[in-house]
Structure 1
Amino acid sequence: MFKRLSLRLTLLTVILLVVLYSITSLALYGIIRGFVTRGIDFTLRQAAYRVADTAVLTGIPSFASTGSPEINFVLADNGVYTSIADPDLANALEKRLSRSADRPVFFNFAHEGEHYRVFELPISPGSGGPAYVATVLDDSQTVRALSDLRSVIVIVGLFGICGATLVGFILSERMLKPIRRAFQRQLEFVADASHELRTPLAVIQSNLGIVMEHTDQTVEQNLEWLNNAHGEARRLAKLVQDLLTLARSDSERMPVDRRPVALNDLLDRIHDLYETIAEMRGIELAVRADEPLVVLGDRDRLHQLLVILIDNAMKFTDAGGKVEIAATRTRNQAVVSVRDTGIGIAKEHLDRVFDRFYTVDTARSRHGETKGTGLGLSIAKWIVEAHGGKISIASEGVGKGTTVRVELPLMPRKAAPPGEEDVKAKGEA
């Protein structure tokens, strides 16, 4: 599919280049040819009228020098009189003259491989009857130069077509490379999503199948199978919600409601939510914010971001470990870092942890917890980038903990103070 598309783009590029080059070349050639021809015609006309004026005043054919030695004059009055030294050329020219008595004409004349430009001017030099003056210029070199110019245009055009074909193919490949990569990622995304959706559906179907086989048992006796199905249904609902979030973010249909958000209050709220969970797991949860920090962003999305980061940190930290959230200021940036003393991440996996559906391995989940879908950090990355920030992850290796660093632009000092939502959240905290 992409190969045919690349060929079509290349062909389109070549066609456009040929059309543009043809139009430009024809226009340029026409301008140069017209300029040269007008110069020659002007010289011929000027010389013809000078001779004609002399003939009219004196009644005698005149071949006086006009300051243009390359110009040869032919003056006829009931016969042919010529200053052309070559009699064959004069005879051939005399036969070619139209002897038109009504208007002057220009015409081209070839003789023995040479090219001439002729201007024929009817005159009446007296009572002798109609006469004419013809001025002749050998413009063979000009004709050859124009012929060479045509050849150069054609040759350059042929080389241009070859070069355009090669360049067009290379450019089309470069243009299609991100599209091909996005298409491949889309295929992988669909395949991974199908796989992730199939697993909980299979568990739900199998557990409900067991319940349907035990029709003689009560609900309490089938509670284990029902709980399994319910748990997978909740996991499936979360997965679908995450997929919907990413799909909307890709299509830019997920608006970000930017309002002043106090990070200190938001961190306190997150600490209150996870403090009990941390105590149950034997993990120390600490929040450190040195000074009030206000960013312009979507409070709900920033809350979701912190939940994802803290949930991951606690999931991969064993009992007795520590998870610390710190908020600091760096110039005009608010830096939020989530550091844990968990099992860490191998360095070869750090570049891919933000990819969708990418999970390092099942062993990272503590105490055999359910394997994640690999969408959390992808959503976190989208949230940070939607707020104009940056997110990075660092780990010294397996067993050495992990640190996630988020940089968000601080709200300008001239902006409005934190909104009612932050005040309300501060009161609840």
Structure 2
Amino acid sequence: MFKRLSLRLTLLTVVLLVVLYSITSLALYGIIRGFVMRSIDFNLRQAAYRVANTAVLTGIPSFASTGSPEINFVLADNGVYTSIADPDLASALENRLNRAVDRPTFFNFTYQGEHYRVYDLPIAAGSGGPAYVATILDDTQTVRAMSDLRSVIVIVGLFGICGATLVGFILSDRMLQPIRRAFQRQLEFVADASHELRTPLAVIQSNLGIVMEHTDQTVEENLEWLNNAHGEARRLAKLVQDLLTLARSDSERMPVERRPVALNDLLERIHDLYETIAEMRGIELTVRAEEPLVVLGDRDRLHQLLVILIDNAMKFTDAGGKVEIAATRNRNQAILSVRDTGIGIAKEHLERVFDRFYTVDTARSRHGEAKGTGLGLSIAKWIVEAHGGRISIASEGIGKGTTVRVELPLSPKRAAGSDEGDVTAKSEA
């Protein structure tokens, strides 16, 4: 499909180039040829009128009064008077002039491979009949130069078409690479989503099937199967919501609001929400903020970002471990870091943890009971990039903990060090 599309784009590019080159070349050739021919015709006309005026006044031909020695003249009055040294050329020209019907006129004349431009001008009739003056110029070199110009235009055009075809194919292939990657990514996304959706649906169907077979039992007796179905239904709902979030982010239909958000208040809110959960799991949860920090962003999305990071950190940290959330300032950026003393991540997996549906191993999770969908960090990455920031993850290896680092641009007032701006932004948040 993409190869055919690349060929079509290349063909379209070549056709447009040929059309533009043809129009430009024809216009340029026409302008140059028109200028040259007008210059030649002007000189021929001026010379003819000088000779004609002299002939009418004196009654004899005069060839020296034109002031244009490169132009030859023929004066005829029932006989031929010529300054052309070659009598055969003069005779051939006379025969051609005798066939002329309309005067005055310009015409081209070829003799023995040489090209001439002729201007035929009638004058007052002589004693034997009508008279005329013809001025002639050997423009063979000009004609050859114009012919060479046409050849150059054609040759350059042919080479240009070949080059444009090659370059167009290469450029179209490069242009389609992001589309090809996006299409492949979309196919993988659909395949992975189908796989992830199939698992909870199968579990729900199987458990509900068991309940339907036990029609003689009470709800309490089937509670185990109902709880299994309910748990998978909740997991399915979260998966669908995450998929919807990523799909909207890909289509850029999920706007991110830009309002001042006080990170200190947000971190305190997150700490209050997870403090009890951390105590139940035997994990020490701490929050450290060196100074008031204000960023421009969507408070709900930033809240979702911290929830994803803290949830992952607690999921992969055993009892007795620690999870620390820190907020610091680095010039005009706010640095959020979530560090845990949990299981850690092998270095070969660090580059792919932000890929959709990528999970390292269910054994990484606490007691292996919480199997993720692999979408949390993908959503976190989108949230950070939507706010103009960067996210990275680091781990020294298995058993050495993990640190996620998020860089977000500070509010302009805060970045400039305006305390008044900080207070205002904090109150608005």
Same-fold call, TM > 0.5? yes
Residues in 2 aligned to 1:255 and 1:209: alpha-carbon distance in whole angstroms: 42
Match of 2:417 in 1: none
Which amino acid in structure 2 is aligned with residue 363 of structure 1?
Answer: A
Of the structure 1 ranges 57-66 and 6-15, higher mean CA displacement relative to structure 2 is found in 57-66
Could you tell me which residue of structure 2 aligns to residue 426 of structure 1? none
- Aligned counterparts of 1:265 and 1:38: Cα–Cα separation in 2: 83
Q: In structure 2, what is the equivalent of residue 154 of structure 1? A: 154
SS in structure 1 at match of 2:325:
strand
Letter in 1 for 2:425: P
SS at match of 1:217: coil
Question: Which residue pairs with 2:290 in the alignment?
Answer: 290
Judging changes above 3 Å, is the alpha-carbon distance between structure 1 residues 6 and 415 closer, same or farther for their aligned structure 2 residues? Answer: farther
1:30 alignment partner AA: G
Shift of 1:345: 1.5
Unaligned runs of 5+ in 2: 414-420
- 1:382-401 paired onto structure 2 within 5 Å: 382-401=382-401
Q: Counterpart amino acid of 2:388?
A: G
Residue in 1 that maps onto 2:131 = 131
Q: 339-348 vs 267-276, which deviates more?
A: 339-348
Distance 2:230 2:396 in 1: 39
Corresponding position of 1:45: 45
Q: Indicate the residue corresponding to 1:418 in structure 2.
A: 425
Alignment-derived partner of residue 402 in structure 2: 402
The residue aligned with 2:352 is 352
Structure-2 residue corresponding to 1:315: 315
Mapped partners of 1:72, 1:192: distance in 2: 88
Equivalent pair of 2:260/2:297 in contact (CA under 8 Å): yes
Secondary structure of the structure 1 residue equivalent to 2:119: strand
Task: Show the counterpart of 2:174.
Answer: 174
SS at match of 2:424: coil
Residue 20 of structure 2 is aligned to residue 29 of structure 1: no
Asked if the contact 1:388/1:408 (under 8 Å) is kept, the reply is yes
Partner of 1:425: none
Paired residue type of 1:2: F
C-alpha contact (below 8 Å) 1:259/1:419 kept by paired residues: no
Q: CA-to-partner distance for each residue in 1:8-59, whole Å, 9 max, x for gaps?
A: 1111011011101111111111111111111111111121111111112211
Q: State how many pairs are aligned.
A: 422
User: Aligned residues: percent identity?
Assistant: 89
**1:127-185 deviation digits (Å, cap 9, x = unpaired):** 66531111111111111111111111111111111111111110110011110000000
Q: TM-score, length-normalised on structure 1?
A: 0.95
Is residue 120 of structure 1 aligned with residue 120 of structure 2? yes
Q: Identify which range, 30-39 or 98-107, moves more after superposition.
A: 98-107
Residue in 1 that maps onto 2:251: 251
Match of 2:418 in 1: none
* Structure 1 residues 325 and 97: alpha-carbon distance in aligned structure 2, compared to 1, 3 A threshold: same
Report the 3-state secondary structure (helix = DSSP H, G, I; strand = E; otherwise coil) of the residue aligned with 1:8.
Answer: helix
Q: Is the 8 A contact 2:262 2:426 kept in 1?
A: no
Q: Equivalent residue of 1:418, what SS?
A: helix
CA distance in 1, matches of 2:8, 2:316: 51
Question: Is 2:199 the partner of 1:199?
Answer: yes
Q: Secondary structure at the match of 1:69?
A: coil
Q: Aligned equivalents of 2:235 and 2:381: distance in 1?
A: 21
Check 1:102–1:123 CA distance in 2 against 1; reply closer, same or farther (3 A cut).
Answer: farther
Residue 186 of structure 1 pairs with residue 186 of structure 2: yes
1:415 positional shift: 8.2
2:408 counterpart SS class? strand
Structure 1 residues 95-114: aligned runs within 5 Å: 95-98=95-98, 103-114=103-114
CA distance in structure 2 between the aligned counterparts of 1:185 and 1:102, rounded to whole angstroms: 76
Q: Using the alignment, how far apart are the partners of 1:297 and 1:181 within structure 2?
A: 30
Give the equivalent residue in structure 2 for 1:144.
Answer: 144
The alignment partner of 1:326 has SS state of: strand
Q: Does 1:216 align with 2:223?
A: no
Note the C-alpha offset of 1:298: 1.2
Cα shift at 1:418: 3.5
Q: Is it true that 1:56 corresponds to 2:56 in the alignment? A: yes
1:108-142 CA deviation, whole Å, 9 max, x = no partner?
00011110000111111766653111111111111
Contact kept in structure 2, 1:313 and 1:323, CA below 8 Å: yes
**Counterpart residue identity of residue 291, structure 1:** E
SS of 2:53 mapped into structure 1: helix
> What's the TM-score, normalizing by structure 2?
0.95
Take 1:315 and 1:153, find their aligned partners in 2: how far apart are those partners?
72
Residue type of the alignment partner of 2:353: V
Query: Is contact 1:355-1:378 (8 Å) kept?
Result: yes
1:398 to partner: Cα distance: 2.0
Q: Which amino acid aligns with 1:265?
A: D
Q: Distance in 1 between matches of 2:311 and 2:412?
A: 31
2:215 is paired with a residue whose SS is coil
Report the AA paired with residue 253 of structure 1: R
Q: 1:72·1:136 contact (CA, 8 Å) conserved in 2?
A: yes
Give the C-alpha shift of residue 247 in structure 1.
Answer: 1.1
Partner amino acid, structure 2, of 1:260: P
8 Å Cα contact 1:7-1:169 kept in structure 2: yes
Residue ranges of structure 1 left out of the alignment (5+ in a row): 423-429
Q: Specify the code of the residue in structure 1 equivalent to 2:180.
A: R
> What amino acid sits opposite 2:137 in the alignment?
L
Task: Give per-residue Cα distances to partners, 1:184-205, cap 9 Å, x unaligned.
Answer: 0000000000000000000000
Instruction: Supply the AA of the counterpart residue of 2:372.
Output: G
Match for 2:187: what amino acid? L
**Aligned 1:75-90 pairs, distance under 5 A:** 75-90=75-90
Compute the displacement of 1:239 (Å).
0.3
1:193-220 Cα deviation digits (max 9, x unpaired): 0000000000000111111111111111
Shift of 1:360: 1.5
* 1:342 to 1:98, Cα distance in 2 relative to 1, 3 A: farther
Q: Post-superposition shift, 1:225?
A: 0.7
Tell me how far apart the structure 1 counterparts of residues 213 and 274 of structure 2 sit (CA, whole Å): 40
CA contact (8 A) 1:343 1:400 kept: yes
CA offset digits 1:305-333 (Å, max 9, x no partner): 00000001111112221111000111111
Write the letter of the residue equivalent to 1:337: S
